[in-house]
Every structure is written in structure tokens, then in C-alpha cells.
Amino acid sequence: MLASSLVLAALSHLDTSAPSVRSAAEITLRSYRRWKASRVRKAASDSESAATRFICAFTADRVDSVKRSCASMSHSVEAVVSPLRLTKPLTIWRRHDHARNWASANRELIAVRVLERLRTEGTGLIDICHNGVEQVDLADRTCWLHRKGAAPSTVGPVVIPGSRGAFTYLVAPKDPGEKSAFSPAHGTGRKWSRSDSRARLENRFSAKDLVRTELGSHVICEDRELLYEEAPQAYKNITVVIDDLVQAGLVDVVAIMKPLVTYKVRR
């Protein structure tokens, strides 16, 4: 994902009281995971309680209603309904929150290592998940909102990155609700598919051409396919995306940031 390749150290989530920050030079992935384990267990416990309340509220008549509405679908109705009546959601939500907490820990570790390499310090301000499920109240009903590549508008300021060769915007979501599904965009969005990007760009640019952008920023990516798949030309115009969000009354622009280094992968 484009957002994961834009390592903005100053905006990565850091807990300054954590052992990883107090002693960055001594950090290892194993010790970091042990430190994170308590946070993962608490999130899983909270999620289990929420899932249990949801199951209890999901009465038999609602199950029958779901079955009727799904009857024309090609996939198994029981696969949709059964998890809501049995104990499977408890396992599902534990795994869901474990994955989210692991991803958060991984981002934090990346930020710590980047700061260590730069021989500097930083303070975490924002850590946003773009893929996950969240409980929301909608029309006097408890619902589950599934975001697949969308930022939440319910947790404060959100970073909306452009491509490797475009500006990144820090925005403040406005009036979260049904109109926006409680979610602004999480990035500029692709203009071409990955395979289409390679086909269009490989004959126009060398790999060397793509390690520097028009903004003068550096791209560290030693995977040739990714270099073409995530080239700036493959993405929409971030200015247009942000203007649309502002005109729709969904966000206010707080700051505009210029990328200096985009790190993706080293071999």
C-alpha cells in the first residue's frame, strides 16, 4: 500500500515512556513484542466484550431477516449468519485486534529505527489504521463499519498522502456521519492498476529515473516491479482529491508536507 511506504517519522506513533524509546539502541523485535503484548491483550479483551454484547443483541428475528436478504446471493448464507450466533466472533475479533496491534507495533518500531538512524528523537502524533472493523451507532442501531482502504474521521487529524512525487496533506475531518460513512479518503488513489503501471512506464523511464521525484525527493526501493507499480504517474492528482473533500465539507486542511525520502524496501 502506498501509505505504508511513506515513512513520516515525526507522525509515527511513539510512546515516549516505552522502553523502545528510552533505549532505542538496545531494542530488538522480540523485546518489543513482549512490551506490546499487554496492549494487545487489553484490546482483545475489550473487543471480546463488545462482540459478546453484539451477539446477545442479535435476536432470532434479525437472523431470519439476514437469511432472507442473503437468499439470492451465491455464497453460503450460513457463512454470513452463523458467526453472529456462535462463539466464532470472539475468535474473529481477537484476531482482528491482534493484527491491528501488531501493525501498530510494527509502525512504531519502524519509526524508532528511522529516528535511531538519523541520530535524533521524535514525538508520536498520529497512528491511523486504514483497514479494519469498528463499532458505530447508526440510526439507533449498533453496526459494524468495515473500512478497506479508508481513514477514520472519528479519531482526530488524518494524514492523506499523495504519491511519492506529490505533497501529503494533514487534514481535520468535519462532521463525521452517514454522509461520509465516518471516513475520508486515506490517500490519493490509483489511476492505473499495478500491472498497467508497469506496462505504461517501463518503456518510458529507467529504474534510475524513478528514484528521484519532480519534488527532488529520494525513493529507496530496490524492488524493480514496485518501483514502477508505485511510481507517481500511477496515481491520481492529490490536489483534486483534497479539493473535492474540502468542497464536500468533509475536511479542513491543517498542513501540507513535502516528502523528502520515501522508503519501501532494500534487498
* Confidence band, pLDDT 50/70/90 cuts, at residue 10: very low
pLDDT interval class at 138 (50, 70, 90): confident
Residue by residue, DSSP assigns 117-168 as: HHT----------SEEEEEEEETTEEEEEEEES---SSSS-EEE---TTS-E
**For range 88-95, the mean pLDDT:** 76
Largest CA distance in the chain: 62
Amino acid 179 reads K
Q: Cα–Cα distance between 28 and 218 in angstroms, integer?
A: 28
Please list, in sequence order, all residues whose beta carbon lies within 8 angstroms of the beta carbon of residue 157, skipping any fewer than 6 positions away: 126, 170, 171, 172, 173, 254
pTM passes above 0.85: no
| pLDDT of 92 | 84
Q: Which of 75, 146, 186, 218 is catalytic?
A: 186
Q: Sign of the C-alpha dihedral, residues 235, 236, 237, 241?
A: negative
* Per-residue H/E/C for 78-106: HHHHHHHHCCHHHHHHHHHHHHHHHHHHH
pLDDT at 251 over 60: yes
Q: How far apart are CA 213 and CA 204, in angstroms?
A: 15
Q: Tell me what pLDDT residue 73 has.
A: 35
Per the annotation, the verdict on 130 as an active-site residue is no
